[in-house]
Chains A and B, each alone.
Chain A
Amino acid sequence: MNKLVIAAAAAIALFSTAASAQAVRLATEGAYAPYNFIDDSGKPAGFEIDLGNELCKRAALECTWQTNAWDSIIPNLIAGNYDAIMAGMSITDERKQSIDFTQNYLPADPSYYMVRTGTALDFAALSGKSIGVQGGTIQAGFVAETFGATNTVKAYDTADQALADLSAGNLDVILADASYISEVVTGSAGALERTGPEVKLGNGIGVGLRKADDELEGKLNAAIDAMKTDGSLDDLIVKWFPDKTKPIFATN
């Protein structure tokens, strides 16, 4: 399905008369609602897809979307399978060693713990519990460092798999981005709840790019700046993340 979209978009790009349109392939994970997911018609959708399309329009780029598994999303960017990553990826110093980021388009979200409703946990002295995280995320690193010694840390390929195990009773608690947790708690109709302290990790979410791609970085940064100043980025954020309130980036 995605290949068809890509092929169609590529064909359109080829025959497009817009001489300045540069073809850019964007990659996302497709398994992290509401940032990015696969909608009912089988296409990528979500906050980042909407944002990516808007940025491309403003930067006069022809953008196509691909999905890629989380654990190979950075290596495949470096290998040239696509040109940019928009997959809820936090800007961290460790990742900056291999790729570049634009400025953040989402401010740093705290991370929340989530449990089945009614589970009481003492986060100051957690021991003997099984904690679920998505492998290769900032939450994974934090949990391994803080709780790894006395608890079982299970890393999953996607956040949804951790969620599946939590709701099935195979895990005691999971740690993930606040927006993801909030969405899941609302949708679970009381079966899951947020608990424990907030954890501040990461420096906001940005677009991941290859280090050599300075031109693309410049274009995207300019577009993000424009969206921040005219308030359209705030509108988009509030549309997809109902528990956030304006102003977020707008200074007025």
Chain B
Amino acid sequence: MLDNLPEWLRTTLGDDFAFWLGYLTNGKHLTWYASVQYTLAAAAFGMLAALVMGLLGAAARNSRLGPLRLLGGLYINSVRGIPDVLFFLFFPLAFEQTVELVRAQAVCTPETLAANVGQWPPCDAANWLLGTTEYLALACVSLGIVYGAFAANVIAGAMNAVPKGQLEAARAFGFTNSEVLWRFHIRQMWIYALPGLSNVWLLLIKATSLLSLLQISDIVLLANRLGAPNFSRSAGLVHPDWRWAYYLVLLVFYILITFVSEKVFAALTRWASRGMSVASPA
């Protein structure tokens, strides 16, 4: 990449700067920068999944059916007792095992089963090869389920905060139940839900640092690899342990995302409270 710079620029910048620029933009580092796509994708789709689960959970919590309320309550409260990393690791494993179990019923012959006694999967044909995309999808669903419980709590509270008078007036006007729900209840709920949801978003974005535990080559794994001391000249630059510097970069990256997220949510809150008679309840 350095060869593309004009000669005069190279001489002004000096050899040291040029060297570091070259080093920080070599293939390995570019791969590291590019892997931030996994973090952002997991955060975006995880948040979407969490919103969906949150709406479902809140609906269950506020439903008229007892068992549904119980289910919703169980869902929301179990998350308070379990670390998110445990569920994050458990869900993909459990899902993969279930799929392979179902497949094994279909494709396993007695010989292949005997060959794999005591191992998993029950027979080689039932193995489900998981690549980065599959793990990413599973991670998004995991994040959605865990943070959906938080979101459900927030949304349930926000649904209760919408002034009842609005809903009564809508019903008096003759709107059907589902129209009241979607056009009035949920639409007006967002302003009350935003502070809580911004909280959920910030927790979720920090949880994306755990993607490397699911064998995804994300920013944390590559930072570890890039920073580890290298003494082999054939493998590239010989350098001591630089991992703390790479992790510091990651730390700053996450702090920046937090900063930007807060600004975005402030803007969203301003937008959502337009025309509202109450000041932002945040």
Residue B253 lies at the interface, judged by CB distance under 8 Å to chain A: no
B binding-site residues for A, Cβ under 8 Å? 26-28, 30-31, 34, 119, 121, 124, 127, 129, 131-132, 215, 225, 228-238, 240-241, 243
Main secondary structure of the interface of B (DSSP, over half): loop
Whether B236 and A40, one on each chain, are in contact in the complex, defined by CB atoms closer than 8 angstroms, is yes
Whether A184 and B231, one on each chain, are in contact in the complex, defined by CB atoms closer than 8 angstroms, is yes
Interface size on A, residues (CB 8 A): 35
Whether A192 and B231, one on each chain, are in contact in the complex, defined by CB atoms closer than 8 angstroms, is yes
Interface string of A229-243 (1 = CB under 8 A from B): 000000000001000
Whether B131 and A33, one on each chain, are in contact in the complex, defined by CB atoms closer than 8 angstroms, is no
Decide yes or no: A187 and B27 within 8 Å by CB, A79-B121, A79-B127 being known contacts.
no
Identify the closest chain B residue to A211 (Cβ). Answer: B115
Decide yes or no: A164 and B234 within 8 Å by CB, A42-B31, A80-B127 being known contacts.
no
Decide yes or no: A3 and B31 within 8 Å by CB, A160-B228, A160-B229, A184-B232 being known contacts.
no
Whether A41 and B26, one on each chain, are in contact in the complex, defined by CB atoms closer than 8 angstroms, is yes
A192 to B230, CA, bound (A): 13
Identify the closest chain B residue to A1 (Cβ). Answer: B31
Whether A163 and B229, one on each chain, are in contact in the complex, defined by CB atoms closer than 8 angstroms, is yes
Whether A34 and B232, one on each chain, are in contact in the complex, defined by CB atoms closer than 8 angstroms, is yes
Whether B27 and A41, one on each chain, are in contact in the complex, defined by CB atoms closer than 8 angstroms, is yes
Whether A167 and B235, one on each chain, are in contact in the complex, defined by CB atoms closer than 8 angstroms, is no
Main secondary structure of the interface of A (DSSP, over half): mixed
Residue A188 lies at the interface, judged by CB distance under 8 Å to chain B: yes
Whether A187 and B238, one on each chain, are in contact in the complex, defined by CB atoms closer than 8 angstroms, is yes
10 cross-chain CB contacts under 8 A:
A37-B236, A38-B28, A39-B28, A42-B31, A46-B234, A81-B129, A161-B228, A164-B241, A183-B233, A187-B232
Residue A43 lies at the interface, judged by CB distance under 8 Å to chain B: yes
A188 to B241, CA, bound (A): 12
Q: CB-CB < 8 A to A188: which residues of B?
A: 231, 238
Whether B241 and A43, one on each chain, are in contact in the complex, defined by CB atoms closer than 8 angstroms, is no
Decide yes or no: A37 and B235 within 8 Å by CB, A3-B131, A164-B229, A167-B241 being known contacts.
yes
B193: min CB distance to chain A, Å: 38
A238: min CB distance to chain B, Å: 14
A187 to B131, CA, bound (A): 35
Whether A42 and B129, one on each chain, are in contact in the complex, defined by CB atoms closer than 8 angstroms, is no
Whether B132 and A3, one on each chain, are in contact in the complex, defined by CB atoms closer than 8 angstroms, is yes
A174 to B28, CA, bound (A): 27
B86: min CB distance to chain A, Å: 21
Q: CB-CB < 8 A to A192: which residues of B?
A: 231
Q: CB-CB < 8 A to A81: which residues of B?
A: 129
Identify the closest chain B residue to A43 (Cβ). Answer: B27
A41 to B26, CA, bound (A): 6
Whether B235 and A33, one on each chain, are in contact in the complex, defined by CB atoms closer than 8 angstroms, is yes
Whether B232 and A41, one on each chain, are in contact in the complex, defined by CB atoms closer than 8 angstroms, is no
Whether B228 and A41, one on each chain, are in contact in the complex, defined by CB atoms closer than 8 angstroms, is no
